[in-house]
Amino acid sequence: MIQDKIHDIVGKLPSGVKLVAVSKFHSVPELMEAYRAGQRCFGENRPQEFAMKVPEMPSDIEWHFIGHLQTNKLKLVLPYASLVESIDSKRLLDSVNAWGKANGKVVPVLLELHLGAEETKGGFTDQEIIDILSEYVDADSAYSHVRIRGLMGMATNTDDEAVIDSDFSRIEAFKKNLDRMFPSLDGFTELSIGMSDDWQLALRHGATIIRVGTAIFGPRKV
């Protein structure tokens, strides 16, 4: 039961940690089951699917976008997303900032750190994130219409808990380094790590957001 799964996870979360119910590939009735269990934060990773589901669900939902976002799809996502967790290129960040400017909005985002061993996984290197934040904290920063709220990362896809632990340690330490390097960085508080199989481990590494799909909704029918 979706409701029991939600209650079970939420009951184990320390206060201040947010559960994103990752509802990609699942139907609106399934999402509504989670909603009736009290879940108000949902995550989707495909712009078209995201834009279709938002108007079909109640309006008090906080939507997170967690997938690869192409710059020509911004208008499907940015009007509705409370947080874009998956900023993975400077080009995308610049486009989101430009969209915000044109639409009179400041868009909250996370920067995705390339964390897992897979080359195919997206995300920035440490140095790229440092360069972006240097620009962002500058008094004359062009980034007036994005608000960088923290980091997101996906651990290596493996059953080896030691590997996942080391991935989470790395992003946790990097986040702390950034806090030290950029003392004027305001509101850079979020660390989005942890999925169905590793969210409890993520909590031990300072996760403030966990993104859980399969453990709530069951396997995705792809």
Ligand X SMILES: *Cc1c(COP(=O)(O)O)cnc(C)c1O
Residues engaged in binding ligand X (CB under 6 A) = 22, 24, 45, 66-67, 154, 195-196, 211-215
CB of 222 to ligand X, least distance (A): 11
Nearer to ligand X, 54 or 212 (CB): 212
Q: Which two tokens stand for residue 75?
A: 């208008």
Nearer to ligand X, 107 or 155 (CB): 155
Nearer to ligand X, 64 or 175 (CB): 64
Nearest-CB residue for ligand X: 213
Give the span between the Cα atoms of 44 and 77, in whole angstroms. Answer: 10
CB of 45 to ligand X, least distance (A): 5
CB of 136 to ligand X, least distance (A): 23
Nearer to ligand X, 19 or 129 (CB): 19
Q: Which two tokens stand for residue 146?
A: 């994005």
CB of 153 to ligand X, least distance (A): 9
Radius of gyration over alpha carbons of the chain, in Å? 17
Measure the CA angle with vertex 75, ends 55 and 134; round to 5°.
125
Give the span between the Cα atoms of 104 and 213, in whole angstroms. Answer: 32
Give the span between the Cα atoms of 91 and 74, in whole angstroms. Answer: 12
